[in-house]
Amino acid sequence: MSAQTQPPLGDMMTQTVPMVRTLNLEFTEVGAERAVVVLPDQGAFHNHVGGPHAGAMFTLAESASGAVVLAAFGEQLSRAVPLAVRAEIGYRKLAKGPVTATAELGRAAADVVAELDAGERPEFPVRVSIAREDGAVTGEMTIVWTLRPNA
């Protein structure tokens, strides 16, 4: 998928996040509950066994999670900043070729916004699955995000 056919939020991330451009990530779906991002097969980012480097896969998953967070909470940006708090990734199988990260919001956005409305700093998980073209899951990641209220 070329940059011209990415969802608008994918275009914005490509333009504003240097690592997205560096890895040539392709946003194929971006919504308030789910985002799908592809890391093309690129020799420059291979590891010692010929698949995507663990750091590239981490960045792919984190970028997919950021896309779903921005889609879900973009209307809150005037009063809060989304920030990743912590992440855990498990590498399950050897990844070869292009890999796709699918990120899903782990809590209802309305519940998160309600906590923000109550003056709290909500935290919420985003779960990401990374898969090869044959559908085999090569990695799983959970990223906990927060909406930090603006001062």
> Nearest CA to 34 among 87, 101, 86, 116?
101
> What distance in Å separates the CA atoms of residue 61 and residue 92, rounded to the nearest whole number?
14
Owner of token pair 């990415």: 6
Q: pLDDT tens digits, residue range 79-110?
A: 999 999 999 999 999 999 999 999 999 999 99
pLDDT band of 149, cuts 50, 70, 90: very high
Residue-by-residue DSSP string for 86-127: EEEEEE-S---S-EEEEEEESS-HHHHHHHHHTT---EEEEE
For the entire predicted model, the pTM comes to: 0.93
Architecture of domain 3-149: Roll (3.10)
